[in-house]
Structure 1
Amino acid sequence: MAMTNKNVRVENDFLGGKELPIEAYYGIQTLRAVENFPITGYKIHESLIKAFAVVKKAAALANTDVGRLELNKGGAIAE
C-alpha cells in the first residue's frame, strides 16, 4: 500500500511530476524555475508577490464576469 503525504500535492508537466507544498500558491513551472535558475541570489520582495496576487485575482474575477472564464475556475483563482 502506497503512503501519501497530505502536506504535498503532485503537479505534472511535460517533464514529469513534482511534489509541491499543499498550501503553495505557485505551480510546477515556478518550482522548476526556482530550482533551475538561481541566477542573482536575490529574492522577490513580498510586496511584489502580493501585488501579483491582487492583479491575478482581479483578472480572474473580470474574466469570470464577462464569461471568458468558468465560474469554478475563476473562484478557485480568486480564492
Structure 2
Amino acid sequence: MRCCRAPAQATLVDRASAIQEVCERHGVPLRAAAIQFPLGHPAVAGVVIGARSPQEVADNVRMFEWDIPGGLWADLKRAGLLPEEARSP
C-alpha cells in the first residue's frame, strides 16, 4: 500500500519556521524542544521517539537531555506560538 503525501500547508511551514527562529535565539535545536515539549503536560509520562540507526538513538538522547531555558517557552508563548496555558517541561 502506498502512502499519499501532500505538501505541508504554508501556515504550518511558517509556524514551524517561527518556532525554529525562537529556538535558535536561545541556542536550542528545534529537535530538542520538540522532544521535550510533551513532558510539560501532566498526563504525559514519557515520550517515544523513533530511530533508524544507533546514531539517531544517540542524537535523540542528546536532544532529550539538552538544557532548555525557561525563557524559550516564555518567548514562544509571547509570540503566540504556544498557548498561554501550555506548561513548560
Scaled to the shorter chain, the TM-score interval is 0.3 to 0.5
State which structure, 1 or 2, has the greater radius of gyration over its C-alpha atoms. Answer: 1
User: Normalized per residue, which structure has more strand?
Assistant: 1
User: Normalized per residue, which structure has more helix?
Assistant: 2
Give the structure-2-normalised TM-score: 0.32
Larger relative contact order (Cα-Cα within 8 Å, sequence gap ≥ 6): 2
Give the structure-1-normalised TM-score: 0.34
